[in-house]
Amino acid sequence: MFKLEPPKRIPFYLKFGIWISEKVTGKKMLPARLLSWSPRSAIGSAFLESLVVHKDPTLSKRLLKLVRLQVSFKVNCPFCIDMNGYDFELFKITLEELNLIRENCYPVQHNAFNQREQIALEYALRLSVTPPDLDENFQNTLKTMFTDRETVVLTVTISQVNYWTRLVQGFNVPSAGFRQDCSLSSPPKK
């Protein structure tokens, strides 16, 4: 498969954003560097990423992390699995739960997840297929479990991971390097 290379000269205003993303992640952010070929696309992508909800008053950080992981596994994106999974323990996600999500790319029904988590995980799966599988029955279930505002936050979270997946897969970007083999063991302690 082809391999894209970042431009030799990256505009100074993009270098700063790339530097920040690399400082935060501790990894070379190849997708950001490749987006430098189209500065407008790079700025739009950075803006999108800056607006993603990681902390919410009514949706737990754990639930949002589980949703990002579910999408990453569903669309089989090693880079996304890596980026969304490297610190799973900080969100009180166990290795068993991570394996349940990875192995079950259909609605996860397990006592490890509460009812809201199960519905959110199912929503992530249903919204990550083409066309989305959002029948009236499921929409009614979603409405009973989440407020309209929470549904918007979940939808944007799911869509954001799908967006990055399409970019990194289109660019043929490998795993970010937290776990080269995409295994689900804990990252090395620093």
186 occurs within a structural domain: no
pLDDT of residue 180: 37
182 occurs within a structural domain: no
Q: Which of 176, 189, 183 is nearest to 83 (CA)?
A: 176
Q: How many domains does the chain have?
A: 2
pLDDT of residue 37: 95
Check whether residue 31 and residue 70 sit in a common domain: no
Count of Cβ atoms closer than 10 Å to residue 106 Cβ? 11
Summarised one tens digit per residue, pLDDT across range 34-74 is 999 999 999 999 888 888 887 889 999 999 999 999 999 99
Give the Cα separation of 36 and 101 in Å (integer).
Answer: 34
What letters, b where the CB count within 10 A reaches 16 and e where it falls short, cover 28-59?
Answer: ebbbbbbbbeeeeebeebbeeeeebeeeeeeb
109 occurs within a structural domain: yes
Check whether residue 117 and residue 69 sit in a common domain: yes
Check whether residue 33 and residue 92 sit in a common domain: no
pLDDT of residue 136: 96
Range of the domain at 20: 12-50
Give the Cα separation of 137 and 26 in Å (integer).
Answer: 43
Mean of pLDDT values over 9-36: 91
**CATH assignment at residue 145:** 1.20.1290.10
Residue 114 has pLDDT above 60, yes or no: yes
Summarised one tens digit per residue, pLDDT across range 145-166 is 999 999 999 999 999 999 999 9
Provide the CA 183 distance to its chain's centre, in angstroms.
16
Token digits of residue 152: 């918007």
Check whether residue 30 and residue 77 sit in a common domain: no
Residue 188 has pLDDT above 60, yes or no: no
Between 46 and 179, the more confident residue is 46
Check whether residue 44 and residue 67 sit in a common domain: no
72 occurs within a structural domain: yes
Residue 109 has pLDDT above 90, yes or no: no
Residue 14 has pLDDT above 90, yes or no: yes
pLDDT of residue 177: 60
56 occurs within a structural domain: no
Residue reference for tokens 């660019």: 171
Check whether residue 80 and residue 19 sit in a common domain: no
Residue 19 has pLDDT above 50, yes or no: yes
